[in-house]
Amino acid sequence: DAGVIQSPRHEVTEMGQEVTLRCKPISGHNSLFWYRQTMMRGLELLIYFNNNVPIDDSGMPEDRFSAKMPNASFSTLKIQPSEPRDSAVYFCASSFSASGGTLIWEQYFGPGTRLTVT
C-alpha cells in the first residue's frame, strides 16, 4: 500500500494568498483526520471525517480554514486568506472505523505538508 499521500510536501506563500493542501487516504479507510503541528501548540486535530462526512470540526481555528472530502479517496484543507501564524506542518491521517465509528483503530499518518506564510 502506498500509505497516506499528501501534496505538496512544502508550500511557501505570501500572506493573503489562498493555500490548498491535499490528501489521499489509504484505500479502504473510511475516516480521515487533518492535524496541525507547531512548536508552540504541538499536534492539534483540526477536523475529521467519517464516510466523507465532517464529524468534528471544533479544532478548526477560524473561518479562514475549510476542509472538504468530496469522495473516499480525496480531501482538501484550504486556508483563505493565509496569515504568517498559519505556518506549521499539516498532517493528514486515515483509519478504518467500524460500526459507524463505534470501533476505532489506529491512525496512519502522511508525511505532512510544511507550510510557510511570509
Partner 1 sequence: AQSVTQPDIHITVSEGASLELRCNYSYGATPYLFWYVQSPGQGLQLLLKYFSGDTLVQGIKGFEAEFKRSQSSFNLRKPSVHWSDAAEYFCAVGPSFGNEKLTFGTGTRLTIIP
Output the smallest distance, CB 95 to partner 1, in A.
7
Q: Is 110 or 117 the residue whose CB approaches partner 1 more closely?
A: 110
Q: Is 58 or 71 the residue whose CB approaches partner 1 more closely?
A: 58
Residue 25's φ and ψ, nearest 5 degrees, are: -75, 170
The torsion angle over the Cα atoms of residues 94, 96, 102 and 104, rounded to 10 degrees, is -70
Output the smallest distance, CB 66 to partner 1, in A.
19
Output the smallest distance, CB 114 to partner 1, in A.
8
Residue 101's φ and ψ, nearest 5 degrees, are: 95, 5
Give the pairing of strands 53-56 and 42-50: antiparallel
Q: Is 72 or 81 the residue whose CB approaches partner 1 more closely?
A: 72
